[in-house]
């Protein structure tokens, strides 16, 4: 009697869970979102935990849907479409389809949900990370900013990893923001190239600089992240100037000593030879 009851409960339980699975149905991919940094472009989504898989396909303008190379039947909730977006200045849209965990049977595609993304143009909308740069004093009232060209996630047909400058060409500029230590007034200047001289600084003062990539041709996301701040120390620059002077002095003194030694040696040799020859010529007599 007891065992029959257990079996009955078990049967009920199986029926109930089967019914719940059918009622829930395959989970949809929700909150589709583009995340793009330095042209590495990833589509992310959220979903209910399940055994289902997801396939991402994309299209641009009126082109046909294509499946993302790394995005076929994935269990993760994100997919990297960087390699698929070969022409980066193009507007793409994508969809995420839910698929059964196994493909052992023919399933009806229509039964499985798919969700569409918003449009995304990597060239116009990818975020740009903070750049690295150095600042060096040229003289007491000017410095040179030297910016390092950032590498992007884009490779050309020969497999070379392209830099921001390679990708954006003349669309890429840099914003340089600086202020005198202790003052609140900031000045902004724009540079077209990786190096920029900043002139008319107050001698002996410390200045702090920040740099960000800047793309004026864009409608939104014109500016990359600000770099960390680099400051000059007014005093140390004077010390550096002094030490350069000191080095010049030391080299000058060393050269003088060397010239004196050479002159003395040459003179001595001449004296010695003259003495020798006079001795030799007098010897036969």
Rule CB under 6 A: which residues touch ligand NAG?
Answer: 34-36, 125, 127, 146, 148, 195
Q: Which is nearer to ligand NAG, 216 or 249 (CB)?
A: 216
- Shortest gap between Cβ of 136 and ligand NAG (angstroms)? 7
Q: Which is nearer to ligand NAG, 31 or 148 (CB)?
A: 148
Return the DSSP state at 178. Answer: E
Q: Which residues, listed in sequence order, are joined to residue 180 by a DSSP beta bridge?
A: 207
Structure tokens at 9: 């409960």
Q: Which is nearer to ligand NAG, 99 or 213 (CB)?
A: 213
- Shortest gap between Cβ of 147 and ligand NAG (angstroms)? 8
Q: Which is nearer to ligand NAG, 36 or 98 (CB)?
A: 36
- Shortest gap between Cβ of 217 and ligand NAG (angstroms)? 17
Cα dihedral 29, 31, 32, 33 sign: negative
- Shortest gap between Cβ of 247 and ligand NAG (angstroms)? 20
Q: Which is nearer to ligand NAG, 146 or 233 (CB)?
A: 146
Structure tokens at 12: 């009920």
How far is 123 from 219, CA to CA, in rounded Å?
11
Structure tokens at 96: 């995420």
Q: Which is nearer to ligand NAG, 146 or 230 (CB)?
A: 146
- Shortest gap between Cβ of 228 and ligand NAG (angstroms)? 16
250-264: string of b/e by CB count within 10 Å (b at 16+)? eeeeeeeeeeeeeee
Return the DSSP state at 213. Answer: E
CB-facing half-sphere around the CA of 68: CA atoms within 13 A: 26
- Shortest gap between Cβ of 178 and ligand NAG (angstroms)? 18
Residue 29, class by beta-carbon neighbours within 10 Å (0-12 exposed, 13-18 middle, 19+ buried)? buried
Lateral strand order in the sheet of 186-191: 186-191, 173-180, 207-214, 230-231
Phi-psi domain of 184 (left: phi exceeds 0; alpha: psi -120 through 50; beta: other): alpha
- Shortest gap between Cβ of 166 and ligand NAG (angstroms)? 17
For tokens 């609140």, the residue is 184
Q: Which is nearer to ligand NAG, 225 or 250 (CB)?
A: 225
């Amino acid at each position: 009697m007891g065992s029959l009851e257990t079996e009955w409960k078990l049967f009920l339980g199986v029926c109930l869970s089967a019914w719940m699975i059918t009622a829930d149905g395959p989970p949809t991919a929700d909150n589709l979102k583009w995340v793009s940094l330095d042209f590495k472009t990833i589509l992310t989504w959220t979903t209910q935990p399940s055994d289902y898989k997801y396939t991402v396909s994309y299209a641009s303008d009126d082109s046909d849907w294509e499946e993302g190379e790394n995005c076929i039947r994935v269990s993760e909730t994100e997919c990297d479409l960087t390699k698929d977006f070969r022409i980066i200045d193009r507007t793409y849209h994508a969809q995420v389809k839910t698929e059964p965990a196994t493909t052992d049977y023919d399933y009806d595609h229509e039964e499985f949900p798919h969700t569409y993304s918003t449009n995304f143009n990597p060239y116009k909308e990818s975020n740009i990370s903070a750049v690295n740069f150095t600042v060096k004093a040229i003289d007491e009232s000017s410095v040179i900013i030297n910016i390092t060209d950032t590498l992007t996630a884009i490779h050309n047909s020969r497999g070379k990893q392209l830099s921001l400058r390679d990708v954006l060409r003349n669309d890429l500029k840099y914003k340089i923001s600086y202020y005198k230590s202790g003052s609140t007034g900031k000045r902004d200047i724009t540079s077209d190239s990786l190096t920029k001289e900043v002139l008319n600084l107050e001698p002996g003062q410390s200045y702090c600089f920040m740099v960000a990539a800047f793309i004026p041709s864009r409608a939104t996301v014109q500016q990359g992240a600000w770099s960390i701040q680099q400051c000059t120390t007014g005093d140390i620059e004077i010390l550096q100037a002094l030490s350069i002077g000191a080095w010049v002095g030391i080299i000058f003194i060393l050269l003088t000593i060397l010239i004196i030694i050479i002159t003395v040696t040459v003179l001595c040799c001449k004296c010695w030879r003259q003495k020798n020859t006079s001795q030799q010529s007098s010897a036969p007599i």
